[in-house]
């Protein structure tokens, strides 16, 4: 009867002889007369590595995993450097002005005609009333009114009274045009000049005009009347009303040298 071996230790060394020694097993003879221990050895020769085989076929892609949890918000980074200044955009708002003596607006980029009308103001000899001139539209609209002429504050058309000055059109009534400079926001009426300041847009040039200074005439505003004035058709007969006279400099406080009392003062209307 062969005895079974039970391995008690295994030692493996690369490129060396590995010996597994079995534990002794007793062989039992009849009558227990003799016990002979049997020792069995198993020798395993470790071989060298075989050459590497061909790569296997790649496996299929696995399924996408589920998204992970949202991480915590990071700290605010440091402020970046200031960028370059951008180009200036178009000006907003616009500005309006009256072109006295014309029925149209000048051919200047961004300038539009709102309406044209009739220059008007208080009677030249009235003590009361308004001191300014208005550009009255051709198509007035009325609200509630009291029937009849109340005679409280009448307003009249305006006549040219150049008296031989460069403007001409004596006794004719004055038209006007209300203009809108859509790309500019500032307005300047510059007396005694026909050129505008640097970087300003010249809308038109003309002559400085106002009411007469004596003979019961009363103060009014100074206005810049276009140098090439139009006239309202059929208005040649003198009816007075409000009036426009040329303005000249007096050598009293204004230095004569640059100013000349014998020359009509010019003007320019400028926008920016």
Residue 47 to residue 55: CA distance in whole angstroms: 23
DSSP label at residue 22? B
Q: ∠ CA 80-86-89 to the nearest 5 degrees?
A: 145
Of residues 83, 81, 110, the one with CA closest to residue 97: 110
Residues 6+ apart with CB under 8 A from 165: 207, 246, 264
pLDDT of residue 92: 66
Name residues of the chain where pLDDT drops below 50. Answer: 1-30, 32-47
**Residue 32: strand, helix, or coil:** helix
pLDDT, tens digit, for every residue of 231-246?
A: 999 888 888 899 999 9
* Residue 188 CB-density burial (10 A; 0-12 exposed, 13-18 middle, 19+ buried): middle
Say whether 121 sits in a helix, a strand or coil.
Answer: strand
- pLDDT confidence of residue 131: 93
**pLDDT at res. 51:** 67
Work out the number of other CB atoms within 10 angstroms of the CB of residue 46.
Answer: 11
Q: What backbone torsions phi and psi does residue 120 show, to the nearest 5 degrees?
A: -145, 160
Predicted local distance difference test score (pLDDT) of residue 91 = 53
Q: What is the pLDDT of residue 89?
A: 59
Query: Which pLDDT does position 164 carry in this prediction?
Result: 81
* Reported pTM: 0.66
pLDDT of residue 49: 57
């Amino acid at each position: 009867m062969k005895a079974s071996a039970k391995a008690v230790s295994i030692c493996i060394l690369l490129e060396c002889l590995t010996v597994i020694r079995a534990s002794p097993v007793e062989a039992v003879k009849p009558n227990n007369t003799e016990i002979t221990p049997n020792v069995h050895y198993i020798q395993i020769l470790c071989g060298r590595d075989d050459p590497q085989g061909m790569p296997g076929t790649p496996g299929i892609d696995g399924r996408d995993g589920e998204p992970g949890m949202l991480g915590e918000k990071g700290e605010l980074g440091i402020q970046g450097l200031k960028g370059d200044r951008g180009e200036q955009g178009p000006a907003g708002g616009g500005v309006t002005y009256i072109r006295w003596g014309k029925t149209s607006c000048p051919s200047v980029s961004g300038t539009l005609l709102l309406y044209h009308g009739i220059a008007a103001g208080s009677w030249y000899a009235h003590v009361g009333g308004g001191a300014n001139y208005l550009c009255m539209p051709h198509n007035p609209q009325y609200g509630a009114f009291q029937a009849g002429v109340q005679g409280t504050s009448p307003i009249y058309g305006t006549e040219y009274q150049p008296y031989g000055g460069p403007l001409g059109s004596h006794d004719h009534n004055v038209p006007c045009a209300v203009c809108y400079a859509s790309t500019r926001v500032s307005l300047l009426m510059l007396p005694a000049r026909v050129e505008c300041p640097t970087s300003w847009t010249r809308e038109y040039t003309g002559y400085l005009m106002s009411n007469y200074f004596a003979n019961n005439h009363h103060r009014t505003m100074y206005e810049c009347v276009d140098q090439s004035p139009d006239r309202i058709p059929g208005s040649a007969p003198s009816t007075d009303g409000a009036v426009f006279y040329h303005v000249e400099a007096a050598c009293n406080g204004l230095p004569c040298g640059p100013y000349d009392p014998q020359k009509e003062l010019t003007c320019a209307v400028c926008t920016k």
